[in-house]
Amino acid sequence: MSAVFKREFKAYFTSPIGYIVLAIMFFFAGWFFTGFNLAGRNVSLTAVYSLMLYAFIIALPILTMRLMSDEKRQKTDQALLTAPVSLTGIVVGKYLAAMLLFLISLSITLVFAVVIAVQVTPDWSAILANFIGLYLLGGTIITIGLLISTLTESQLLACVGTVFVTACLMLMDMLSMSASGTFWSSVIGFLSLSQRYNDFAIGVISYNNIIFFISMQVLFLFLSVRVLDRKRWS
């Protein structure tokens, strides 16, 4: 697994993808911070964290689109699947590489917190809650992208598919409002990623939501392993 992780993380910086993802995340974070905090003289980073959800819809599908589809395109997938490493190790290694790059890109928000701390004392508990919430939510999107990447050899299709699924899960709270009072309202509200993040946004670390995000990541990683297992024997 460690070999897959090192290979995958290095690949992000031997291709433009790693730099593109970092550029997108840093651009949007800097834009939001400048508009809401510097220009608006606001010491709370809550708006910046909440708006970063929209950057995720663009950046994270790009981050995950090559994870398995590129292996198929270069015809290296069979060599990878027959290597002396378990399918779980392959999937988890790729997942951890994407999560590390995502962590680096999200850490720019902590730099903003330090900038604010030079002048006033920020609400560190709210910053921590937002950071954890965004990291867990982003991790869920990454596992969705990884699963979709195992289903196609086209990076474009993997990216577009991840954007579509992510947007649907992020905007489910709107559907929940339109179906208010029905069984489907509860189901949609349960699956809405943005609604799950709301508690973190107000500075509350909800263990129910932590379990939800982790469970969703485990589910999509498991499905990715099953897809690879099917392809190995096909």
Whose structure tokens read 């002396």?
Answer: 84
CA atoms within 13 A on the CB side of 197: 28
Q: What end-to-end distance do the CA atoms of the chain give, in Å? A: 23
pLDDT of 145: 95
What does each of the 234 residues of the chain score in pLDDT, given as a tens digit? 888 899 899 999 998 999 999 999 999 999 999 998 888 888 899 999 999 988 999 999 999 998 888 777 777 766 676 777 788 999 999 999 999 999 999 999 999 999 999 988 888 999 999 999 999 999 999 999 999 999 988 899 999 999 999 888 887 766 655 556 566 666 666 777 888 888 899 988 888 999 999 999 999 999 999 998 887 666
C-alpha to C-alpha distances, 76 to 82, 147, 155, nearest whole angstrom: 10, 18, 15
Give the phi and the psi of residue 50 in degrees, each rounded to 5: -65, -40
Count of domains observed in the chain: 1
pLDDT of 181: 58
**108: containing domain:** 2-232
